[in-house]
Amino acid sequence: MYNKNPRNIMKKLKQLQSNIIMFFALLVLTSCSTDDIIKPQTELPPITQTGANTVGCLVDGKVFLPRTNNPLGNPVVTCFYQFVNNQWHFSLGFSNNQKENLRGVNIGSKNISLKEGQSYDLLLDSGNNAFATYFDFVNPDFTTTNEVTGKILISKIDSSQSIISGTFWFDAVNSNGEIIKIRDGRFDMIYTP
């Protein structure tokens, strides 16, 4: 015989509600794969020429990407190519402060009108050339010199869309004579004109 007691009906509804919630929770948990879990990026971005706003390199063989510890903030990445005081100036900088100290890469040029398909030597900053720096707040800055050098290749420059893309590598030395090796660098940025 069916019991129409309101207490029993409410009890059965709560039991049914609990079972439905449990079913959906199990469904969600079992439908997730390990591919759905967000993993930190451990690979360099692909080499592109679309204005994807990507940049990265290897620093002494380890992947170096723009990152921040601030969950609300974006990593620091800057890129500009501007005509100022009758001279072209280019700068690409990105930093990573996920470890114990802020580290970063800066590549720039002064008084050079960059051309697509052209490579430029990264030397000591003399005011009329391309140059590069790696910094951290533990060691003195590492810079390119006229003996410890590198190269940047501009693979695309599109002034109508403000896109600049390319690849780079460089060695840099600090005042203690230590050398750092930056390899497989790539960037695909929308620059500030």
Is the pLDDT score of 137 beyond 70? Answer: yes
% of the chain with per-residue pLDDT over 90: 67
Is the pLDDT score of 29 beyond 50? Answer: no
Q: ∠ CA(16), CA(17), CA(19), 5° rounding?
A: 65
Is the pLDDT score of 20 beyond 90? Answer: no
Instruction: Name the residue among 163, 142, 12 with its Cα closest to residue 92.
Output: 163
Average pLDDT in the 174-193 region?
97
* pLDDT tens, residue by residue, 104-115: 999 999 999 999
